[in-house]
Chains A and B, each alone.
Chain A
Amino acid sequence: MSGPEAGGRLDTDALLDDPRTRIVVCCGAGGVGKTTTAAALGLRAAERGRRTVVITVDPARRLAQSMGLESLDNTPHPVPLSEGARGSLHAMMLDMKRTFDEVVEEYADPGRAEQILANPFYQALSTSFSGTQEYMAMEKLGQLHRSGDWDLIVVDTPPSRSALDFLDAPKRLGRFLDGKLIRFLSAQGNGAFRLLGAGFGLVASVIGKVVGAQLLNDVRAFVASFDAVFGGFRKRAEQTYRLLQESGTAFVVVATPERDALREASYFMERLSGDAMPLAGLVVNRTHPLPEGPAARLGAQEALAAAASLEAAGTHPAAAAALRLHAERVALRGREIALRDRLLAEHRGVPTVEVAALAEDVHDLADLRAVGDALADTPDHP
């Protein structure tokens, strides 16, 4: 058995050290360790000299704590690093409503902005439109990028139904706000109706029945005031989308060596390539490499036979257990490699790095640093 085919190893340090790398986006299925990976990459980049900010979306409390932060809000907070760190690390958690409000305030005059922010329909849109979180993550990324305050921005993508939602969200929100329905709902009773032809009265009455007249009024008021803002809004979404395609952006796909997570990773890599987004590599997280030394050459069958002979003799229970444990590990490792290699066979040339499973969860910067070490320098285990 050998290391990853083709592609070779992801050179994490070269990626993080390269001054041309300005954005790293971590993506993958839920529960694979995206947020931890993003934080570990950010810490490593900071300690290697870059002014780094990590944007997370709803991190586990423990992860915020591991960076020495009790809470995270919509602005970057400095993470205290050990002495000798050459760069700096900030971390922030996305507040989608605050971010949306800021966009409105930036593009609308004060009176109009106030109207929009007070509109119940806007409030629903800014807190719960199913693409808002993804869209605002991208908006925040654009803001931080334009500020010029950061050498490197590391983004943890939202735990969406699909890991791809954040690529589509800006378009979807744009399509919605610019769409036929919203024009229809906000029409003052002329042009739009003619376009719809027969049956519009019925449709209007159905919408009124289902959602209620009050909501329709809110939508109309919202569209009337939002129209002025919308052009800038959409332009910005397009800019951010293009920013993701630039060569200074690096997508890092994270997966655990399990069927579903790898399938999602595969789908994601296809999509990135379809959208001309730069893929830096694949992190296979929480793997179970074999130990160093002679145990690496002890096969599962041989270990099980040896354990059985000890058990038959009724002696050395700890050694028998160690041998059974090793046999399990060998079998698990075999499955992991098979799954990984199947993925890499479909995606030749994708640089890969493995991060071995930790015995316990990440609790502090030292643990995050250990993850970063693994991301940067995984020995090619058998």
Chain B
Amino acid sequence: MRLHIVTGKGGTGKTTVAAALALALAAGGGRVLLVEVEGRQGVASLLGLPPLSAEERPVASAPGGGRVLALAADAEAALLEYLEMFYGIRRAGQALTRLGAVDFATSIAPGLRDVLLTGKATEAVGRREGGRRRGEGPFHYDAVVMDAPPTGRIGRFLNVTSEVAGLARVGPVRGHADKVTEALRSERTLVHFVSLLEEMPAQETRDGVAEIAALGLNPGAVVVNMARPPLLPEADLSSAAEGRLDREELAAGLEAAGLEDPAGLAASLAGEVDAHARRVLMERRIRSELEELGRPLLDLPLVADGVDLAALEGLARHLADQGVRR
């Protein structure tokens, strides 16, 4: 599996998961490319680096000599590259830019913009050592990870052929779109979903998995991000969720711990305990609904103090522990 597309509802931590996945795949000497397509510079801000450009550059190293490179795919740069690659006409491409072809290529036809952005990722997947586009020799990258648009837009983003078909029924753009689609539909590409154990992200994940499958693409894993272990003993969960936690026993425990005003404290803490219990039960129900999708579920813990490189390395180890490798 070589192209990993990471999507999820806004706010679920797609960029964090994509970066952690890239690190996990690079462990043990791999070379992995992380591609950002939304122009948000989320990867750079996560890693505390200056903004990424359309040029690949190393951003992190992984245990065992692994390397992660990253780029921010840019439709204009991809268009110029594409023109040069297929027509050898860089100069005309630059004239196009002056004319406002950026607006043309990237705004008027988002299908075209999307095919240029996804095409950047599929090109990297197929690239051989020495920069050759086809033929023999080992692949340049062991894996490519894309920090993709959110679930609300992922179907349209990846369904490049039909988006472009409305505009260009024939011609080279259409041909390029067909090739990108073939790569996206091949079993070398997986679309992973980042979810939280909350209703709306889980609903979007279920809808997204169905949409991706209907498009002939391959859904991959569901990453349950920001997972928190239950703190309450199992026996107390359901009674607390129903607001029936024994407050006298709670007060007795607080008194035994030597705290002042145990009865008042128990009353004051009981609300937190009940809400926690309700949330844990809700999370279990949502998890079982996600399990019904039949996709592997990967858990990543909540990172309390903000995500940085060290935290990403920890998350990558969590993924490795759950069997994520090249």
Contacts and interface: CB of A to CB of B under 8 A. Distances in A.
A326 B275 CA distance: 12
Nearest to B276: A325
Contacts of A215: 167-168
Contacts of B259: 298, 302, 306
Contact of A306 (B156, B258, B273, B275): B258
Contacts of A328: 231
A345 interface: no
A212 B99 contact: no
Contacts of B139: none
A315 B258 CA distance: 13
Most A Cβ at <10 Å: residue of B92, B96, B106, B173: B92
Most B Cβ at <10 Å: residue of A161, A211, A310, A359: A211
A161 B40 contact: yes
A211 B168 contact: yes
A321 interface: yes
Given A180-B99, A210-B171, A361 B166 contact: no
A184 B167 CA distance: 19
Given A179-B100, A325-B276, A130 B171 contact: no
Nearest to B234: A317
Contact of B83 (A31, A128, A206, A313): A206
Interface in A322-375: 322-326, 328-329, 331-332, 335, 359-361
Interface string A127-150: 011110000000000000000000
B263 to A, nearest CB: 9
A323 B204 CA distance: 35
Interface in A293-316: 293-296, 298, 302, 306-307, 309-310, 313, 315-316
A353 B101 CA distance: 44
A306 B203 CA distance: 40
B95 A202 contact: yes
Given A62-B200, A296-B268, A318-B232, A199 B92 contact: yes
Interface stretch (B62-70, B119-127, B209-217, B243-251): B243-251
A361 B199 contact: yes
Interface stretch (B6-14, B17-25, B53-61, B183-191): B6-14
B306 interface: yes
A357 B169 CA distance: 49
B242 interface: no
Contact of A180 (B100, B204, B245, B249): B100
Contacts of B45: 260, 263
Contact of A259 (B172, B199, B306): B306
B245 A318 contact: yes
Contact of A62 (B40, B203, B269, B276): B203
Interface stretch (B27-35, B108-116, B291-299, B317-325): B108-116
B92 A323 contact: no
Contacts of A32: 10-11
Contacts of A326: 269, 272
A322 B250 contact: yes
Contact of B171 (A172, A199, A209, A310): A209
Given A60-B200, A128-B163, A361-B199, A212 B173 contact: yes
B103 interface: yes
Nearest to B261: A294
B152 interface: yes
B200 A293 contact: no
A319 interface: yes
A170 to B, nearest CB: 13
A181 interface: yes
B29 to A, nearest CB: 32
Interface in A206-232: 206-207, 209-212, 214-215
Contacts of B156: 128
A206 B166 contact: no
A151 B108 CA distance: 36
Interface stretch (A76-84, A95-103, A117-125, A233-241): A117-125
B252 interface: yes
A169 to B, nearest CB: 10
Interface in B129-183: 149-150, 152-153, 156, 163, 166-174
B103 A307 contact: no
B256 A184 contact: no
B39 interface: yes
A321 B231 contact: yes
B92 to A, nearest CB: 4
Interface in B260-294: 260-261, 264-265, 267-273, 275-276, 278-279, 282
A131 B107 contact: yes
A67 to B, nearest CB: 15
Most A Cβ at <10 Å: residue of B89, B93, B149, B253: B253
Contacts of B101: 181, 207
B257 A321 contact: no
Contacts of A332: 304
18 contacts: A62-B203, A124-B108, A129-B108, A159-B150, A159-B153, A162-B40, A172-B103, A176-B103, A181-B100, A199-B95, A202-B91, A294-B265, A316-B253, A319-B254, A321-B233, A322-B270, A325-B273, A359-B275
Given A180-B100, A309-B257, 11 more contacts: A161-B38, A179-B100, A199-B95, A206-B92, A212-B170, A291-B272, A294-B264, A309-B258, A313-B256, A315-B253, A324-B231
Interface of A: 29-32, 58, 60-62, 120-121, 123-125, 128-131, 159, 161-162, 172, 175-176, 179-181, 184, 196, 199, 202-203, 205-207, 209-212, 214-215, 256, 259-261, 263, 291-296, 298, 302, 306-307, 309-310, 313, 315-326, 328-329, 331-332, 335, 359-361
